Structure 1
Amino acid sequence: MKVLIINQFCGHGSTGRISTDLYDLIEKDGGECCIAYGRYSAPKGYKTYKLGGKFNSVEHALETRFFDNHGFASRFATKKFINFIKNFKPDVIHIHNLHGYYINVNILMNFLKKIDVKIVWTLHDCWPFSPRTAYIDYLENDKLPTYQDAKESKNKYPEVFFPMWNNYKRKKNAFLGFSDLTIVTPSEWLTEMTTRSFLGVYKCMTIHNGIDLKQFTPQKRNLALLEEYKLINKKIILAVASAWDDRKGLKFVNLVAKYFKNDDEYKVVVIGELKKGNIVDNNAIHIDRTDSIQSLAEWYSLAYCLLNPTLFDTFPTTNLESLACGTPVITFNTGGSPEAVDQYTGIVVNNEEITELVKAVDEVQHLSKNLCTERAKLFNKDEKFKEYLNLYKGES
């Protein structure tokens, strides 16, 4: 079985790591895999195909900014990629993120509709059926937005200077018309949203993200780390993100840090890159983004709780990583984030309720570290990604 994976990244970020994890599992199962990607570099040891180069990404970004053309640039790079697909002759094509300034979805999808290859598409966000951006939510009438409404700022990813308002219609035309397409999402929340969109004409199912339980596991207490940051005898309220912005809820992390500024018992520690214009409150400790799993596992293991006040996430793996290290999770009731926990391993707080968020910090002490690690076993990546193998083989 030959599988071609298409994604924005290879080995970089959460979807990039999912791509390489799937590659490893496919090869271990006796298959052959190749990852086609568009941004950054790929780790060594993987068969890959890179679409375009830096110029292609820049040109695509410019078309996005000035013409609201995200997903409809990269024409030459996509036509060249189609020739690669013809030569590679995959049995399965597994699509992940198509946004990210690297591919022309209209050219790609028109080609895929004509070939006799099994197509699986994992949606990691709402971009394929949103008016324009990657992150949307239900309107007040409990319906999905099918036009550019006030909730979607032109400054949200993908950013535009001059919204043209027709990106939704063009995506709909590109993504409809498959005779056999299976859509997968990492959360029941996104599956429900997808089935209510125009993509609801296709089979849609949920396969939760998984993590490596050999790497994310309770670690020996790192006293040197505690001493370095003056955290001895502190209960660490940990907040982790690859990149912090408004969507990730940094505002609420800062509010919690201010609330506990005169409390000798608690200390907020924020790990992750700060997006432009975002700052960490001076009552918290900020540590820049790290790609070291060992370092993250040590911090999760030291923490009293993980604070994840995300305003939109499909199914954040930070929740799973924390549970696997024996640390309970506090999260808002938004997106698919609450699906990671149950009443014994986490506390779900009403969206943007800061008083409940602070109250939850005290209540975490009643949760069980042992049950957190047991809960994490439900999201063992080896078992979760085997569901994809079964899907490729028609056994799902």
Structure 2
Amino acid sequence: MTKKLLQINITANWGSHGKIAEGIGNVVMSHGWESHVAYGRWANPSNSQLYHIGSMMDERIHGVGSRLFDNHGLMSKRATIRFLNYVKQLNPDIIHLHNIHGYYLNYPELFSFLSLANKPVVWTLHDCWSYTGHCAHYMYVQCDRWKTHCELCPQKRSYPASLLLDRSYRNYDMKKQAFLSVPNLTLVPVSKWLEGDLQQSFLKDCRIQQIYNGIDINVFKPQMDTKAITGKYDIPLGKRVLLGVASNWWRKGFEDFLQLRRLLDDKYVIVLVGLDEKRIKSLPTGVIGIRRTENVSDLCGLYSLADVYLNLTLEDNMPTTNLEALACGTPVITYRTGGSPEAIDELTGNVVMQGNLEAVCKLVESVCNRGETVYASACRQRVLDKFCSSKQFEKYYDLYSQLLGIKK
């Protein structure tokens, strides 16, 4: 009988997590399985069969409840019950969770079902929301209350923002009770850093198997001819190009890039991708702003053009942009933030303590003086060896097979 995989995520084939779910679905289908993806909002056409959880109205009501009463993940009850009736009819062999936060699911209802379903559950953790009483990330404020018991949350107004109540103490207890109720749960942190923190949380006794995210090496690859890119985005010829990319620049180091510009001489130009129009208009001379682009060819061209990819993130788990830059042959200089340093080794980049822009300047100078060609082969090989999407997604199929007792 054909095996069925059901993945649950906020998006379907959209954004980094949605594309990861899409890639995993493609791998299991290549092994003869059915692939299904249930999502909350934002979907691109998919090779998997899609199910849309709830509606825009459900999402808005959930958002209001979260902002007023710190009820994130505790709304959308009817939409979740309808979805679980669909799951019963589908009867998947494996249920794989990704981001279940995002104003579209009721996690007590979901985990009550999973605790009784007698099915293997895999949960890929792309952030820290699963074991905190409120936030998805805590490193920026250096909070470690999640290790004992969340309360008096210092990030009440950060995603998922609550403008009135702080129920982080209650939320912590509710998550702990719900998430530990599933007997056959495997957690998959996507970085060694997250794995280490997970082992200090209330989820420490769950089965944990770390798997890195991967990228499509046939899409992200060096582009030899970058003349069209320099013309399209008015990047001056003869300058050393320092690139930064983010889909959302919240706590991704935007202000540090501006400070860095003041420290660098005129032979460098900084190119930042993913900015809104307001920020683009405010940029100083020597910094070029580009709106978020879904044009992967342009993105690969920018990575290939850059002499250095800079990741000055202040809060991150395992940023995919590092891998994309490496795949295009570009060395990476990153802050020592979360799992970001795990993308590189001594042949492919450098790690700097957060805020040490003088050290960043010196490393930029050193890398540029050596020349990108010195790094290109090693950068590309690093991704081929450790972060190729087909290899990483195949690890999920191996995990599913192991959980189901399928001999390969």
TM superposition score category, shorter chain reference? over 0.9
Structure 1 residues 57-66 or 217-226, which shifts more? 217-226
- Equivalent residue in structure 2 for 1:223, among 216, 223, 227: 227
The one-letter amino acid paired with 1:70 is H
Q: What is the CA deviation profile of residues 205-231 of structure 1, one whole-angstrom value per residue up to 9, with x for unaligned ones?
A: 210000000010000222132234142
8 Å Cα contact 1:10-1:17 kept in structure 2: yes
8 Å Cα contact 1:258-1:281 kept in structure 2: no
Pick closer, same or farther for the CA change 1:50–1:273 going to 2, 3 Å: farther
Tell me the residue number matched to 1:390. Answer: 398
- Equivalent residue in structure 2 for 1:336, among 336, 339, 350: 339
Tell me the residue number matched to 1:244. Answer: 249
SS of residue paired to 1:206: coil
Q: TM-score, normalised by structure 2?
A: 0.91
Structure 1 residues 386-395 or 321-330, which shifts more? 386-395
Deviation at 1:149, TM superposition (A): 5.0
SS of residue paired to 1:199: coil
Deviation at 1:44, TM superposition (A): 4.6
8 Å Cα contact 2:8-2:98 kept in structure 1: yes
1:288 aligns with 2:291: yes
Tell me the residue number matched to 1:56. Answer: 58
- Equivalent residue in structure 2 for 1:11, among 10, 13, 21: 13
Structure 1 residues 152-161 or 219-228, which shifts more? 219-228
Structure 1 residues 369-378 or 357-366, which shifts more? 357-366
Tell me the residue number matched to 1:106. Answer: 108
1:375 aligns with 2:378: no
Tell me the residue number matched to 2:238. Answer: 233
8 Å Cα contact 1:8-1:38 kept in structure 2: yes
Pick closer, same or farther for the CA change 1:168–1:277 going to 2, 3 Å: farther
Rounded Cα–Cα distance in structure 2 between residues aligned with 1:38 and 1:230: 38
8 Å Cα contact 2:72-2:160 kept in structure 1: yes
8 Å Cα contact 2:132-2:146 kept in structure 1: no
| Structure 1 unaligned regions, length at least 5 | none
Pick closer, same or farther for the CA change 1:91–1:384 going to 2, 3 Å: same
1:155 aligns with 2:157: yes
Q: TM-score, normalised by structure 1?
A: 0.94
8 Å Cα contact 1:272-1:289 kept in structure 2: yes
Tell me the residue number matched to 1:200. Answer: 204
SS of residue paired to 1:107: helix
Rounded Cα–Cα distance in structure 2 between residues aligned with 1:146 and 1:279: 44
- Equivalent residue in structure 2 for 1:183, among 184, 187, 193: 187
**Structural RMSD (CA):** 2.0
8 Å Cα contact 1:326-1:369 kept in structure 2: yes
Tell me the residue number matched to 2:120. Answer: 118
Pick closer, same or farther for the CA change 1:147–1:7 going to 2, 3 Å: same
Q: Aligned runs of 1:13-28 on 2, under 5 Å?
A: 13-28=15-30
The one-letter amino acid paired with 1:213 is I
Pick closer, same or farther for the CA change 1:276–1:164 going to 2, 3 Å: farther
Structure 1 residues 362-371 or 132-141, which shifts more? 132-141
8 Å Cα contact 1:244-1:275 kept in structure 2: no
Tell me the residue number matched to 2:37. Answer: 35
The one-letter amino acid paired with 1:131 is G
Structure 1 residues 230-239 or 383-392, which shifts more? 230-239
Structure 1 residues 277-286 or 314-323, which shifts more? 277-286
Pick closer, same or farther for the CA change 1:244–1:64 going to 2, 3 Å: same
| Structure 2 unaligned regions, length at least 5 | none
SS of residue paired to 1:25: helix
The one-letter amino acid paired with 1:65 is R
The one-letter amino acid paired with 1:330 is I
Rounded Cα–Cα distance in structure 2 between residues aligned with 1:315 and 1:45: 26
Pick closer, same or farther for the CA change 1:279–1:11 going to 2, 3 Å: farther
Structure 1 residues 178-187 or 36-45, which shifts more? 36-45
Rounded Cα–Cα distance in structure 1 between residues aligned with 2:259 and 2:310: 12
SS of residue paired to 1:121: strand
Rounded Cα–Cα distance in structure 2 between residues aligned with 1:54 and 1:286: 32
Tell me the residue number matched to 2:263. Answer: 259
Pick closer, same or farther for the CA change 1:385–1:250 going to 2, 3 Å: same
The one-letter amino acid paired with 1:243 is N
8 Å Cα contact 2:242-2:308 kept in structure 1: yes
Deviation at 1:197, TM superposition (A): 0.3
Deviation at 1:349, TM superposition (A): 0.2
Rounded Cα–Cα distance in structure 1 between residues aligned with 2:176 and 2:276: 34
8 Å Cα contact 2:118-2:184 kept in structure 1: no
- Equivalent residue in structure 2 for 1:353, among 337, 352, 356: 356
Tell me the number of residue pairs that the alignment of Structure 1 and Structure 2 aligns: 392
Tell me the residue number matched to 1:69. Answer: 71
SS of residue paired to 1:268: strand
Rounded Cα–Cα distance in structure 2 between residues aligned with 1:159 and 1:141: 19
Rounded Cα–Cα distance in structure 2 between residues aligned with 1:66 and 1:82: 27
The one-letter amino acid paired with 1:156 is S
Rounded Cα–Cα distance in structure 1 between residues aligned with 2:220 and 2:79: 38
Deviation at 1:42, TM superposition (A): 3.5
